[in-house]
Structure 1
Amino acid sequence: MTERWVAGFRSAVISPYEQIQLSVPRGFAGQTVRQPLRLAGGGERLRVRLTNRYGRKPLVIGAARLAARKADDEIVPETDIGLRFSGAAEVTIPAGGEAVSDPVESVATAGAELALSLYLPDETGLATYSHMPMETAFVADGDLASAAGLPHAERVEARFYVSGVDVLASEGTAIAVAFGDSWFEGVGTTPDTHRRSVDLLNARLDRGWVVNQGISGNRLLTDEIGEHALARFERDVLSVPGATHVLVHFGINDLGLPGMAGLPPATAEDLIEGFTELARRARAADLKILAATIGPYAGAVYPGISTPEGLQARRQVNDWIRTGGAFDAIFDVARAVENPEDPDFIRPDYDGGDGMHLNDAGARAMADAVDLRHLAL
């Protein structure tokens, strides 16, 4: 059987030096960071991708180990293996750089819960990270990368220095990339339970899988939070090995975030132009592109987010997404989760509590809005 490397897990990262911050950046010194990685799909071998993309100094990885996760900070000791990089147990990643581990034998299946432990011996500076992954990392002093548990560890809801896991899978395995904002990353859903829309979409698939490249606060047209979609499309979609489809959900932050600074929202015309460019690039790369309508957010509790101008632009863009024919298919998230009595608001039983994000039930409705015939993995 012919095999090839494909993405089994992805984690989109941001700079800790941005002006807009939804979580507090941090660094490490003489500490072990253990973080869970749940594979969307598996294979007979795997390799881990580490990143220092936004670091301002070289990053020393004193040890990197991978194991099956038992619970919380605990691993299954007999599964623990050391990762190597060009044969070495230690690796230094230059500022702005990445490192890919040597392949390791591992029959890792879809849904497998792994624990990646990184020992960081030197002062790191602020860490390149995924800021709201709805997963808990564990931080402990000293080199405890191979310890069975970290009983006194600090709990941190973020993911550091990891951008993905590749798996060796059979030729023809199809990979979709969920490329978007917090409605993919999972804000509003229950942490550490894998109830994000992408997780629930994967549970519906019989073959192939979807990897999650959502960034909470991310915008289609403007940097922060994270590089904007048009800027990161090459890295976070086109460079994903095995990618055949891309699902996009953008727009809420283009329309809402400017209001927090007293600025006008993006216009419908600008958003339509940006979506059209995404579709053009996807098709040029022979990817199928599925677009979500922009979800409702009129009930947002954050000052300045919900404005009449932004909500009107949302309605205009959604009408265009539904009828414009720019994409291979759409999934009408807005209709799936809106309050029938006031469609600019999230349905009360789907509201994550802030009027802007989906809870577990809402995330399921979002996942169910995708017609699997169009995904066809």
Structure 2
Amino acid sequence: MATTWIAAHRAAVVNPHEGFKLFEVRGFADRTVRQAIRPAGGGDALRVRLSNRYGTTPLEIGGAHLARRTEGSGIDPATDIVLLFDGTTNVTVPPGEEIVSDPVVQAVTAGEELVLSLYLPGDTGLSTYSAIPYDIGYAVPGNQLTAEVLHDAEELPTGHFVTGIDVRAPEGTRIAVAFGDSWIEGMNTTPGTGSSFPAQLNRRLTHGWIVNQGISANRLLTDEIGDHLLARVERDVLDVPGVSHVIVHIGLNDLGLPGAIAFPEPGKPPTADDLITGLTALADRFHAAGLKVIGSTVGPYAGTVYPGYDTEEGQAERLRVNEWLGGDDHPFDAIVDLAAAVADPDQPTRIREEFNSGDGLHVNDAGAKALADAVDLALLAL
């Protein structure tokens, strides 16, 4: 059977040098960093992708190991494998560049928990990072690549340097990319449980799978947090091997962040026409690449705890965008009404209580399941 490389895990990354920061940024020196990864699909081999995209100094990797996870920072030593890069264990990644490991020929099963351990001997500078990784990571002093458990480890709520895993799968395997903001990435869902909206939707599929390219606080039109969505199209969707479908949720932060950043001074959000123009350009780029594009309504957020985020002007523009998405003039192949899936029926601008993570802006695990259940699987004929 002919095979090809397909993305099985993705983590969209953020520039730590941005002026506006919602998440802790940091670097490492003489540290072993251990991070868990759960591939969404399987194959007969894998390769790991590492990034120094936003680094300002060379990233020295003094060793990289992959193993199956037990619990917490623990690994099964019997499964420990040394990763190679062009046949060597040590590699230096120049600023702005990425690397892919040599293939590891072993069976990979969808949903299994793998652990990537990196030894970083030098000063990495601020790391290229992801805001919401699959699970909490760990860092300890020195080279502890083969340690069964990392004792007295520092916990890492953000991901570092890892952008994905590819698997060698049967030719013709097709996947979807979930693309957008925190509702895609899974902010405020339970770490390590695969409870994000895309992960829960993935479990409903019988063919293919979904990889997550969300960035919490990301915007359609404006950089920070992360490059804006239109700027991420090629790198985070078109270059993903195996992609045939895209699921998009974006717009919350375009409407809310201007006020939150400027608070207590009023911040002006983009107009609905601005967002409609951007969403149209987004869909057009995907269609030009031959992809099927599934859009979604912009979720509710009235009453959020974040000062300045919820404004009358922003709510009015959200309503106009959602009315356009609910009509016949939008350019998407289909629209999923994610807003309605989790809105309070009596106050539709708010997340219903049983789906509210507590901040009025993000859904909890049950809310993410409601989002996943709102998607007609006929739209994902992968």
- Give TM class, smaller chain: over 0.9
1:150, distance to aligned residue in structure 2 (A): 0.3
1:132, distance to aligned residue in structure 2 (A): 2.4
| In structure 2, distance between residues paired with 1:307 and 1:38 | 38
| In structure 2, distance between residues paired with 1:78 and 1:191 | 26
1:246, distance to aligned residue in structure 2 (A): 0.5
Match of 1:361? 366
SS in structure 2 at match of 1:367: helix
Larger mean Cα displacement after TM superposition, 129-138 or 203-212: 129-138
Alignment of 1:339-354 (within 5 A): 339-354=344-359
Contact 1:219/1:250, CA 8 A, preserved across alignment: yes
In the alignment of these two chains, the number of paired residues is 377
| In structure 1, distance between residues paired with 2:270 and 2:59 | 37
Contact 1:64/1:89, CA 8 A, preserved across alignment: yes
- The one-letter code of the counterpart of 1:123 is D
Match of 1:193? 193
Larger mean Cα displacement after TM superposition, 258-267 or 221-230: 258-267
| In structure 1, distance between residues paired with 2:101 and 2:353 | 45
Does 2:90 match 1:90? yes
1:42, distance to aligned residue in structure 2 (A): 1.1
Contact 2:59/2:92, CA 8 A, preserved across alignment: yes
Match of 2:268? 264
Does 2:149 match 1:149? yes
Match of 1:159? 159
| In structure 2, distance between residues paired with 1:77 and 1:350 | 40
Match of 1:29? 29
Match of 1:58? 58
1:259, distance to aligned residue in structure 2 (A): 0.4
Contact 1:134/1:186, CA 8 A, preserved across alignment: no
Match of 1:42? 42
| In structure 2, distance between residues paired with 1:297 and 1:194 | 23
Match of 2:119? 119
Match of 1:175? 175
Question: Which one of 313, 316, 319 corresponds to residue 315 of structure 1?
Answer: 319
1:245, distance to aligned residue in structure 2 (A): 0.4
1:51, distance to aligned residue in structure 2 (A): 0.1
Superimposed CA distance per residue, residues 315-345 of structure 1 (whole angstroms, 9 cap, x where no aligned partner): 1101111212411111110010001101100
- The one-letter code of the counterpart of 2:6 is V
TM-score (norm 1): 0.99
Where in structure 2 are there 5+ consecutive unaligned residues? none
| In structure 2, distance between residues paired with 1:233 and 1:64 | 29
Contact 2:250/2:298, CA 8 A, preserved across alignment: yes
1:161, distance to aligned residue in structure 2 (A): 0.3
Alignment of 1:119-138 (within 5 A): 119-133=119-133, 135-138=135-138
Contact 1:23/1:132, CA 8 A, preserved across alignment: no
1:219, distance to aligned residue in structure 2 (A): 0.2
Between structures 1 and 2, the one with greater strand share: 1
Alignment of 1:196-345 (within 5 A): 196-260=196-260, 261=262, 262-323=266-327, 324-345=329-350
SS in structure 1 at match of 2:247: strand
TM-score (norm 2): 0.98
Superimposed CA distance per residue, residues 238-262 of structure 1 (whole angstroms, 9 cap, x where no aligned partner): 0000100000000000000000213
Match of 2:69? 69
- The one-letter code of the counterpart of 2:231 is A
Superimposed CA distance per residue, residues 67-114 of structure 1 (whole angstroms, 9 cap, x where no aligned partner): 111111000111100000000100000000001000001211110110
1:134, distance to aligned residue in structure 2 (A): 5.4
SS in structure 1 at match of 2:276: helix
Where in structure 1 are there 5+ consecutive unaligned residues? none
Larger mean Cα displacement after TM superposition, 183-192 or 116-125: 183-192
| In structure 2, distance between residues paired with 1:283 and 1:147 | 48
Contact 1:134/1:189, CA 8 A, preserved across alignment: no
1:369, distance to aligned residue in structure 2 (A): 1.1
Contact 1:36/1:115, CA 8 A, preserved across alignment: yes
1:375, distance to aligned residue in structure 2 (A): 1.1
| In structure 1, distance between residues paired with 2:134 and 2:98 | 24
Moved over 3 A (4+): none
Contact 1:180/1:249, CA 8 A, preserved across alignment: yes
SS in structure 1 at match of 2:69: strand
Contact 1:134/1:185, CA 8 A, preserved across alignment: no
Larger mean Cα displacement after TM superposition, 129-138 or 236-245: 129-138
SS in structure 2 at match of 1:310: helix
1:263, distance to aligned residue in structure 2 (A): 1.8
Contact 1:130/1:160, CA 8 A, preserved across alignment: yes
